[in-house]
Structure formats: structure tokens, C-alpha cells
Structure 1
Amino acid sequence: IMAHPLGFYSKQGLNVSVTKTAGWALVRDKMINKEYDASHFLSPMPLAISMGLGSNATPMNVATIQNINGQAITLALKHKDNRDPKNWKGFKFGIPFDFSMHNFLLRYYLAENGLNPDTDVQLRVIPPAEMVANLRAGNIDGFLGPDPFNQRAVYDEVGFIHVLTKDLWNGHPCCAFGTSTEFIQKNPNTFAALYRAVLTAAAMARQPKNRELIAKVIAPSQYLNQPEAVLNQVLSGKFADGLGKIQNVPDRADFDPMPWQSMAVWMLTQMKRWGYVKGDVDYKAIAEKVFLITDARKHMKDLGMPFTAGPTYAKHTIMGKAFDAAKPDEYLKSFAISKVA
């Protein structure tokens, strides 16, 4: 978003319209129908669309991860003395979309605490902008949503931040910038210019000193339509938690654009774990086809940005457990709660 008001697209010779879209299923449909050229995606969406999960199979690519961390489990204030997830049987939770890190992280967290996310709780797909209203109305007990909506629930005094997703998996991907494989093939120069604009924005957003300006330019109604104070709390990491404390977590949200293929493999293991995909999954082939880490490195190098060289897979730790992308089937078999027989 910030690349638009700050002129990063126009500096690359691009005429870009940034269009607000009501819900992720609509984003998917508009990308498949070529109504949009490129999009801000939930990072698992290009994998799901490429595989034909929930839609016709259309090859999509992740060019960069837009942000890492930047999510939380937010609960209604009436639950502030009920912080143990083992007591959450029967709770109703909002998630933005089935193919989202929000859904996968919430399911992971619940299952690690002994709850089956398919039978012990209800998960409801709610557009993030409507999550706070649903919490206020008592339609849900909580949500695992993207920021700034967790902070907005605190600001509106209807919820509190139970846990930042950073504390479940520090450095986890959140959203991604991507487009269709066809668009890249047909418009290589336009795609390269888009890549440069988005990476330039990421480099600026990584610097804490720029966060206040970013909050200011993305707050208006044509963008996030949120109070600047809410965005400042999220981006600075100095925030009210809704429980009477001010927390200071500078990397609550960060902007590391590296589209690690190991992240894609993890997402695929969770799709398999919860029955979104049946049968054998060629994890490596799908991850390497969809997540363009080699391209990201090339463009980062050209822009003089620091990047991690070497393998295209990284090691990740989720809730204290190491994930080795080379052994996805072993990882899947290690869970007590899953849909995989």
C-alpha cells in the first residue's frame, strides 16, 4: 500500500491503481479473472490457487513476502480471566480465509493445547475489517487476525491481545506480493518494475525511523481507514495490550521480503494436515515453482539491498519445535491432532 502514496510505483514508470477489495475470496476471483494484474495476497493463497484448491487451478507466484509477524490472537474482554486455551472448547473464532497463515497458526496453537480446531471450536471466515464489529457484537469470542485490527479491538475497548503470533513463530510470513505466472511471462518489464517498487517499500519499512511516516500515509480512508494512533502502536511495537499494560515489542511487525521456499513447504504441510489437500503432495516442486526466491535475491542485489544468500530453504521454529522442510512427511506424522490418517 505505502508504495502508492510514497510514489514508488510512479518512480518506476508505473501507473498503478491500488483497489480496496472486500474479502479474500474476491481477491482470488479477480486475480483468476485477470481483473487485477497483481495483488497483496495472504501468503498461502498463491499456493492454493496454483493447486486448484477452492478454485480453478491457475499458476500464481509469490514475488516477495510483504510482512513478517504482525498478527495476534485477540479475545473479547469477557475472557480476560480465561487465558488458558485448554478451556476454550466451544469458542467461536474469526479467521480471514481458509488459506491464510492466520488459520494455520490458530489451528496449530489450538492443537498444541489439546483442542481439535475442527470439532472443539468454530472457525468462521470474516473479512479482517469486520472482525472488531463481530467481537463487539458477541458473534465471536476472539480472532486470529492481521494488524491493525488486533490493536483496533484494544483501541475500541472491546478486546485484548492474548498472544502475538511472533511468540508462536518469530519471523513467520504474513502477506505476500504476487501475480499470475502468465502476467510475468507476458509483461516481464512491468513485473520487474513492480518488483523494484515493492522491494523499495520493504527496505524503507524495515527502518524503525520510517514507521511513523508509513502510519501517516496508509491511515486515510482510501487505504486502511484506521486511526493513525492504532497504526503507530502496531508499527512502533509500543502498544496497549487491553489488559492495562503498555508492551514494547519493536518487531511486532517487520518487513523482510525473502520468500523462503521452506515457508511454502510449511504451509503445504498444514494444508495436508487439515485436509485441504488430499493424496500425495510434491512439496518441493510446488514450493519452488510458486515462491520466487531467486528472482527476489536478484532484484534485491540490483537495488543494493541486503539479502540472505545460499540455500532457498531456511530453518524455522514453530512453538518450540524445529521444522525441517526436507522432511515434511515426518513432520506431519509428529502431530497428535490432525486430519491425516
Structure 2
Amino acid sequence: MSTHLRIGFIPLVDAAALIVAVDKGFAAAEGLDIELVREVSWSNVRDKLNIGLFDAAHLLAPVAIASSLGLGHVKVPIAAPFNLGLNGNAITVSPALHAALMEEIDGDRFDPMATARALARVVAKRKRSGAEPLTFGMTFPFSTHNYQLRFWMAAGGVDPDEDVQLVVLPPPYMVDSLANGHVDAFCVGAPWNSVAVDLGIGHILHFVSDILLSAVEKVLAVRQTWSEQHPDLVTALVRAHLRAAEFIEQPANRPEVARMLSSPERIGVDAGVIQRTLDGRLKIAPDGTMRESKRYLLVGREAAARPDPVQAAWLYAQMVRWGQTPLRPDALKTAMAVFRPDLYDAAIGRAAGTVNAIGAFAGPPFDPNDVAGHLAAFKIGRWKP
């Protein structure tokens, strides 16, 4: 007899393993009858997971940490036994901002330091002329998108709290907001960057893998108490999703996966756009310029599915850097404990490799044992030792 579970997701390509696990029957093979519930905002997903309307969720990695620490909402400890994706975000800018950046750039346009410094010059020029600050969309205060935008800007000398405006928008609303001129740029996951390019209203400036070599993006999240009460279900979930991730990573399966994800009740965008995302081959400009990256989105390869507490520590460090929480050793320990490689390893029956190099383009290598030292290396931030 199968166990019925309700799992919430946002229409993004990094929900692929979740969707494929259900639609290809990998979940059913593990005795799971999963009902996938499409949501529009991360606050909806978080709240329904926290109060038990969802048994599990496709969740922003930082939200799992913030929920466990009680930041920005009620405290509900979360366990993340599986990564649904590494990387996958991009920064997309309007044609006007792209032209302004290219006018100011000194260096390679794919070098995030060169574009960040160009942004600083654009911001300074706008201030002198009395223009309104640039507005950047991101998906949630506790999101990789927020931290990735901030990390990039600050490296070039732009203070994200003083020099520009950051606003929260649900992923599916990003494109309309750019088209309507409500934002000048955004950071979001696939496929919404590509949709903006295909409509001729955006240029993909950076893949997030330009900024961070390996950045955990979404996790399969459950309440910690639920994971303790249902260890067999956690094991079944991990096994089903690992099979799905391995299926997705086979290039020959990508057309089928893209068709599955494109259905209206799943992501609901063109299968060709989704396949380009999975292949790491994206159109980055309305004129058809293409760019390829093997690191654009990692679903199962390079041990991407295995949770890494070092990634959790880096995300916690960003929360501290930008004034969302003070630096406390006990909170760092709690944050790292959200990511559960032990549950992953137990489910697959062996210890797997891990990808723990953050690989940021600026600043010192990240050491989770010296978060204060890491933060002290950056001039711009809200944290004070």
C-alpha cells in the first residue's frame, strides 16, 4: 500500500527531480503516492510546510535555515536530506541597463568583477544626474538570489542597501516586472531569465556560476519532527529523487524531461527553453547570442544532490553579513545541522562524495570555522565585529 504525500513546488527548472520522480514513476516504485502542489510564492511554500499542509517542499536553501533559526517568521526546525539543484540562477538586466554597463565596462563582460565595477560607475553617474536608484528584483529576503546579487554588487563597490533598491518578486512575476519597467534587472532561477531574453526584453548578464562556482540553490525540505517520525519515508524520498536526478542528467533523456516539465500544471513554459537550461546552453541576448556552461545547473552530477553543511554555513554567513541575524556559534551550528548528508548517505546505503567548494569570485576562500574572519575581509556589509 502506498503512502500519500503532498509536496509543494514553485514552477522552476530546479524542481525537475521532484517532478520527474513523480511523473516517471520513481516515487511510486518506492511506495509513495505524491501529490505535487504548484505554488506561486516562497512564503506560501514555507508556511504550508511549517504548519503541516505539505509533508515536504521544494524550498530555497536559505529559507530552510531561516525557518530553523526563527528568522523572519515562526521557528520551525527543518531537515534537508537532498539537494534539488546547485546553481541555476542568473542575473538578467534590461536592454537599457545592459547598454549602460557595456558603455562603462573595462574588461571581459563575463567577468563579474568587471561588470560589478561598471555597475558602480553607472550608479555614480545616475546619482550625479539625480536619477532614481536602479531597482533589482529578487525572490525572497532569505534567498540565494538576494545574497548572490549583494555579493556581486558589493565586490564592485556598490552598497546594495544604500546605492540601489532590492525588491521581492515571485519568480513567475519577474518577466512582467522587467517588461513594465518596474525593475531594471533581476536574479531568478530558470526558466524565467530565458523567457525574458526570448521576449526581447532582457540580457542575461551572468550565470550564478560566474559568481559562485558551487552554490546550493533548492533543497527537498521536511520538518525535522516529521523526519524523525517517518525515517522510512525520508529514505524513500531520497531514493526516488536520486533516481530522478540521475535520469535527468542523462543527455538522451533531456527531451523527455523537458516535455514533462513544460506541461501547464508543472512549469508551463516552452520545452525548448527548458531543455536549453538542462543542457547549460542559453540564449543570453535578444540577438540570439548563445553561451554554454557545464555548471549552469547541476541536478545530480558532481555529487550535487548530497547536502553539504559547508554550504549551509556560507548561507548563514551571508545572513550575518547583511544584518539579518547576529553571528552566534550556536546559530551557526544549527544552520549547518539543517543540511543532512547523514540521511542522504543512509538512504543510498553508502557515503557519497561532496562538493563543498563555494568558489566565490571575490574574497578569501570560505572557512566555516572562521566566519568572523571571512566577513571581516569584506568592506561592504551590515555586520560589525
TM bin (shorter chain) = over 0.9
The answer as to whether partners of 1:88 and 1:121 remain within 8 angstroms in 2 is no
- TM-score, normalised to structure 2, is 0.83
Which of 72, 91, 108 is the matching residue for 2:90? 72
Mapping 1:93-112, distance limit 5 Å: 93-112=136-155
The C-alpha deviation readout for 1:255-276, integer Å capped at 9, x for no partner, is 1112111000000000011111
Is contact 1:301–1:307 with CA below 8 Å preserved after alignment?
no
* Paired residues of 2:197 and 2:204 also in contact (CA < 8 A): yes
* Matched letter for residue 45 of structure 1: V
Root-mean-square deviation (CA, aligned residues, Å) is 1.7
CA positional deviation for 1:281: 4.2
Matches within 5 A, 1:259-298: 259-282=307-330, 284-298=332-346
* Equivalent of 2:292 in 240, 244, 248: 248
Alignment TM-score, normalising by the size of structure 1: 0.94
**Matched AA of 1:189:** D
Q: Do 2:199 and 2:286's aligned partners in 1 also have CA atoms closer than 8 Å?
A: no
**How far off its partner does 1:320 sit?**
4.1
Q: Who is 1:155 aligned against?
A: 198
Mark the CA change 1:88 to 1:194 in structure 2 (over 3 Å): closer, same or farther. Answer: farther
How far the C-alpha of 1:26 sits from its partner, in A, is 1.0
Listed one character per residue, the Cα deviations across residues 126-170 of structure 1 (whole Å, up to 9, x for unaligned) are: 000000010000000010111111111111111010011011111
Q: Which runs of 5+ in 2 are unaligned?
A: 1-18, 102-117, 124-132
- The alignment status of 1:49 with 2:97, answered yes or no, reads no
Q: Does 1:203 align with 2:251?
A: no
Whether contact under 8 Å (2:322, 2:383) holds in the other structure is yes
Give the 3-state SS of the residue equivalent to 2:32 in structure 1: coil
The aligned runs of 1:36-185 (5 Å cut-off) are 36-83=54-101, 84-89=118-123, 90-185=133-228
Partner of 1:316: 358
Tell me, what secondary structure is at the counterpart of 2:328?
A: coil
| Structure 1 residue 97, shift from structure 2 partner | 0.6
Q: Counterpart of 1:133 in 2: which secondary structure?
A: helix
Which stretches of structure 1, 4 residues or longer, exceed 4 Å deviation after superposition?
Answer: none
| 2: CA distance, partners of 1:288 / 1:247 | 34
* Deviation at residue 283 of structure 1 after TM alignment: 5.2
- Quote the offset at 1:250 in angstroms: 3.1
Q: Does 1:300 align with 2:348?
A: yes
Question: Are 1:30 and 2:43 an aligned pair?
Answer: no
Report which stretch shifted further, 241-250 or 257-266. Answer: 241-250
Amino acid in the other structure paired with 1:266: W
Whole-angstrom CA distance in 2 between matches of 1:276 and 1:208: 41
Would you say the 8 A contact 1:265–1:283 is kept in 2? no
Cα shift at 1:236: 1.3
Q: Distance between the aligned counterparts of 2:213 and 2:286, measured in 1?
A: 23
Query: In 1, Cα distance between the equivalents of 2:376 and 2:75?
Result: 28
What amino acid does structure 1 have at the position aligned with 2:119? Answer: P
Question: How many Å separate the matches in 2 of 1:7 and 1:87?
Answer: 52
Higher mean C-alpha displacement, 103-112 vs 182-191: 182-191
Q: Give the stretch that moved more between structures: 273-282 or 22-31.
A: 273-282
1:239, CA displacement in angstroms? 2.2
The alignment of Structure 1 onto Structure 2 pairs a total of residues equal to 335
Contact 2:214 2:356 in 1 (8 A): no
**Per the alignment, do residues 254 and 314 of structure 1 end up closer, same or farther by CA in structure 2, a change over 3 Å counting?**
closer
Higher helix fraction: Structure 1 or Structure 2? Answer: 2
Secondary structure of the 1:107 match is helix
SS in 2 for 1:140: coil
Distance 1:74 1:286 in 2: 34
Please give the secondary structure, in 1, of the residue aligned with 2:295.
coil
What do residues 228-273 of structure 1 show as CA deviations (whole Å, max 9, x unaligned)?
Answer: 1111111112221115312222331111112111000000000011
Q: Distance in 2 between matches of 1:12 and 1:216?
A: 24
Code of the residue aligned with 2:32 in structure 1: it is L
